[in-house]
């Protein structure tokens, strides 16, 4: 159950405090020139220690490709890769061996497997998402050949909400701020909010929004694998995610049908819709409009303040984590959201080749 995708498949491996994090991408077509600098760029957007509002764990996070590439091109064969772990400080976790951190996977892990690598979260660590960012970066490169762009950004931190609709934002400015919000003024408020949480030894959650442009009409499946169902599945598989909505989302359910429907209009570029409450997907299949969605991230569970808990003998105790942790997951999660969206879309791109003869 560590494989994602139907045709373009990522199988990931590795633990936070093991040798490294890596994966195998199977089903990538042959003949694609791989730009490893772009992969490294996405990894650097995800990596710890990148700014004052992220954890200070310092990992170079340099990817090493082990197979499937020859003379710079994909060979149609499995592309394997690894990012070695360097700066682990496993001893910081010694005190967690027999105690369950609240709202972490420690307790559920031991219930599932009967065994647990107590040094960090094992597979539950967000460090696993390195594998997704590498594979997603490759997927973005395949999609880029078809003029498809995927741009995520932070749209809410705690109560600090970006008020401007995405259609009026310049999404190329997202990485100009360390919080990855494209509106400078909101970004500053978000940074202040995160710093306040950090000063408090506390954490804060929020929302990442994502916009996909350029997907042609006709991708997605009508029943279980609706395009938005696959996107939602991908997003809900990211650490700390609590919700997913696309197009008009939860708010749109308050509208009446006559307000919500996207009427079709005739344009010189073909059939379009006047509004886009559908978020670019109708009946599970893309309609050629922008695809956009929101992903809710809870506040990170690791606090640097003492909390009540129990140990593995079910005896009450307290816990005070050491280690270096993020006060807010959102800035580093932006490339992860993009990567998972790319994996879904490249899969449906390949599936779309099979619809008709």
Span of 40-48, 52-60, 71-79, 177-185 interacting with a second copy by CB under 8 A: 71-79
Please identify which residue in 93, 153, 246, 292 interacts with a second copy, judged by CB under 8 A.
246
Cβ-based neighbours of 323, under 8 Å, separated by 6 or more: 57, 89, 92, 93, 302
Please identify which residue in 58, 72, 147, 237 interacts with a second copy, judged by CB under 8 A.
237
Please identify which residue in 104, 180, 189, 332 interacts with a second copy, judged by CB under 8 A.
104
Please identify which residue in 34, 43, 63, 82 interacts with a second copy, judged by CB under 8 A.
82
Residue number, 71 or 168, with CB nearest to a second copy: 71
DSSP H or E run through 151? strand 149-157
Copy the structure tokens of residue 148. Answer: 């498809």
Question: Residue 176 Cβ, how far from a second copy at the closest point, in Å?
Answer: 24
* Helix, coil or strand: residue 10: strand
Residue number, 167 or 308, with CB nearest to a second copy: 308
Question: Which residues in the 130-149 window bind a second copy by CB under 8 A?
Answer: 142, 145
Question: Residue 58 Cβ, how far from a second copy at the closest point, in Å?
Answer: 22
By the rule CB under 8 A, 102 interacts with a second copy: yes
Please identify which residue in 232, 321, 331, 335 interacts with a second copy, judged by CB under 8 A.
232
Question: Which residues in the 147-166 window bind a second copy by CB under 8 A?
Answer: 156, 158-159
Helix axes 330-352, 36-46, angle to 10 degrees: 140
By the rule CB under 8 A, 174 interacts with a second copy: no
Distance CA(285)–CA(302), nearest Å, equals 39
By the rule CB under 8 A, 76 interacts with a second copy: yes
Distance CA(237)–CA(126), nearest Å, equals 11
Distance CA(103)–CA(124), nearest Å, equals 12
By the rule CB under 8 A, 121 interacts with a second copy: yes
Question: Residue 167 Cβ, how far from a second copy at the closest point, in Å?
Answer: 19
Please identify which residue in 26, 59, 183, 338 interacts with a second copy, judged by CB under 8 A.
26
| # chain residues binding a second copy, by CB under 8 A | 151
Contact characters 291-330, a second copy, x per CB under 8 A:
-----xxxxxxxx-x-xxxx---xxx--------------
Please identify which residue in 13, 38, 166, 195 interacts with a second copy, judged by CB under 8 A.
13
Distance CA(48)–CA(59), nearest Å, equals 7
Contact in structure between 135 and 23 (CB atoms under 8 Å): yes
DSSP state, 124? G
User: For 228, what's the count of Cα atoms within 13 Å in the CB-facing half-sphere?
Assistant: 25
Question: Residue 348 Cβ, how far from a second copy at the closest point, in Å?
Answer: 10
Copy the structure tokens of residue 66. Answer: 């082990």
Please identify which residue in 202, 290, 323, 324 interacts with a second copy, judged by CB under 8 A.
202
Cβ-based neighbours of 138, under 8 Å, separated by 6 or more: 25, 28, 32, 34, 39, 79
Identify the CA nearest to 276 among candidates 295, 257, 258, 289.
289
By the rule CB under 8 A, 333 interacts with a second copy: no
CA 82 to chain centre: 19
Q: CA-CA-CA-CA torsion for 306, 307, 311, 315, nearest 10 degrees? A: 110
By the rule CB under 8 A, 214 interacts with a second copy: no
By the rule CB under 8 A, 115 interacts with a second copy: yes
Contact in structure between 245 and 354 (CB atoms under 8 Å): no
Residue number, 28 or 169, with CB nearest to a second copy: 28
Span of 39-47, 172-180, 182-190, 212-220 interacting with a second copy by CB under 8 A: 212-220
Question: Which residues in the 50-69 window bind a second copy by CB under 8 A?
Answer: 66-68
Burial of residue 16, with CB atoms counted within 10 A of its CB: 0-12 exposed, 13-18 middle, 19 or more buried: buried
By the rule CB under 8 A, 80 interacts with a second copy: yes
């Amino acid at each position: 159950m560590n494989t994602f995708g139907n045709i373009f498949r990522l199988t990931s491996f590795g633990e936070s405090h093991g040798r490294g994090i890596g994966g195998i991408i199977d089903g990538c077509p042959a003949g694609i020139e791989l730009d490893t600098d772009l992969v490294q760029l996405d990894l650097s957007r995800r990596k710890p220690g990148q700014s004052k509002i992220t954890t200070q764990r310092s990992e170079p996070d340099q990817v090493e490709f082990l197979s499937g590439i020859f003379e710079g091109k994909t060979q149609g064969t499995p592309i394997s890769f690894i990012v070695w772990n360097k700066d682990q400080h496993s001893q910081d976790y010694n005190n967690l061996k027999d105690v369950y951190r609240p709202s972490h996977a420690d307790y559920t892990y031991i219930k599932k497997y009967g065994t647990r690598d107590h040094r960090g979260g094992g597979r539950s660590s967000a460090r696993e998402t390195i594998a997704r960012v590498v594979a997603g970066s490759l997927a973005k490169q395949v999609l880029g050949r078809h003029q498809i762009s995927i741009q995520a950004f932070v749209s809410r931190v705690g109560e600090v909400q970006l008020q401007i609709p995405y259609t009026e934002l310049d999404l190329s400015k997202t990485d100009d701020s360390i919080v990855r919000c494209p509106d400078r003024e909101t970004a500053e408020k978000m940074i202040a909010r995160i710093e306040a949480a950090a000063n408090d030894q506390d954490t804060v959650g929020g929302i990442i929004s994502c916009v996909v442009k350029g997907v042609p009409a006709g991708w997605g499946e009508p029943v279980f694998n609706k395009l938005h169902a696959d996107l939602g599945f991908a997003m809900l598989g990211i650490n700390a995610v609590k919700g997913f909505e696309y197009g008009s989302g939860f708010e749109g359910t308050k509208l009446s049908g006559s307000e919500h429907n996207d009427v079709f209009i005739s344009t010189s570029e073909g059939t379009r819709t006047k509004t886009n409450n559908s978020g670019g997907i109708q009946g599970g299949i893309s309609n050629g409009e922008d695809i956009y969605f929101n992903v809710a991230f809870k506040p990170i569970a690791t606090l640097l303040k003492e909390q009540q808990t129990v140990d593995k003998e079910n005896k009450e105790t307290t816990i005070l984590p050491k280690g270096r942790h993020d006060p807010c997951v959102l800035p580093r999660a932006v490339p992860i959201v993009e990567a998972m969206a790319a994996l879904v879309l490249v899969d449906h791109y390949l599936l779309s080749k099979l619809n008709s003869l």
